[in-house]
């Protein structure tokens, strides 16, 4: 059973409504594509942020003005610590959800 987009932005069925916009900030392409597919199937508008640099991620969020940002906290190079993006992404008005995971027992 799917979860509907947040009521605050509507589902697009009445005038003035729009589908919730999600920005994915994830450095693993398979996970990013899987999240985009699943969220898109539930009716969300999803974009994957380019990860060529910290400023590019921020600029993408400023351009898209997402409702939600799913932010990987361990982004690898050239960005590194995704936690440094929380404040500037939240400043766009988005709700920032920090996610991460690993299969490495040492972490």
**Residues 61 and 91 sit within 8 Å (Cβ to Cβ):** no
DSSP string, 8-57: TT--SSSTT--PPEEEEE-S-HHHHHHHHHHHHHTT-EEEEPP-S-HHHH
Q: What's the pTM value of the predicted model, to 2 decimals?
A: 0.80
pLDDT in tens, the chain (107 residues): 454 444 445 555 555 566 899 999 999 999 999 999 999 999 999 999 998 889 999 999 999 999 999 999 888 888 888 899 999 999 999 999 998 877 777 75
């Amino acid at each position: 059973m799917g979860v509907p987009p947040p009521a605050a932005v509507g589902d697009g069925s009445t005038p003035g409504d729009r589908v919730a916009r999600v920005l994915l900030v994830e450095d693993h392409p398979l996970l990013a594509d899987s999240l985009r597919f699943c969220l898109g199937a539930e009716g969300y508008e999803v974009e994957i942020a380019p990860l060529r640099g910290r400023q590019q991620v921020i600029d993408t969020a400023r351009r898209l003005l997402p409702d939600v940002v799913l932010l990987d906290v361990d982004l690898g190079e050239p960005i590194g610590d995704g936690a440094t993006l929380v404040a500037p992404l939240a400043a766009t008005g988005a709700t920032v959800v920090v996610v991460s995971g690993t299969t490495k027992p040492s972490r």
